[in-house]
Amino acid sequence: MKIQAEISLYPLRQNDLTKPIRQFIELLENNKLKVEPGPMSTLVTGDSEVVFENLQKAFERLAEEYEAVMTAKISNACPEVKKDIPFRVVNSRE
């Protein structure tokens, strides 16, 4: 099954947050996954087994060197973001 995960990584007790976050993203990019880094989170798309396996491996590898918190939102309902679909905020009072 194809899924999409929105991942955020929070390195703890680090002066430089960029290095561990880049390492984590690089660990994910070297696999059969579509990885789209963003300013606050990273979208990871692929087969569910590959996504879960690689998230686990990347986190465990990073945890050998850093303390960190990783959050993940995972969906099988929106495996890919369609960039040409317009986004509109709807006021709930309308």
Q: Which of 24-33, 51-60, 84-93 has the highest mean pLDDT?
A: 51-60
Helix (H, G, I), strand (E, B) or coil at 2: strand
Structural domain spans, the chain: 2-75
Q: Is the pLDDT of residue 17 over 80?
A: yes
Residue 30: band (very low, low, confident or very high) from pLDDT cuts 50, 70, 90: confident
The C-alpha angle 80, 11, 15, rounded to 5 degrees, equals 130
CB-CB contact of 23 with 64 (8 Å)? no
Percent of the chain whose pLDDT exceeds 90: 78
Please tell me the distance from the alpha carbon of residue 31 to that of residue 81, in angstroms, as a whole number. 20
Closest CA to 38 of 3, 86, 5: 5
Neighbours of 24 (CB within 10 A): 23
Q: 81 vs 3, which has greater pLDDT?
A: 3
Q: pTM (2 decimals)?
A: 0.78
- pLDDT exceeds cutoff 80 at 38: yes
Q: Which fold has domain 2-75?
A: Alpha-Beta Plaits (3.30.70)
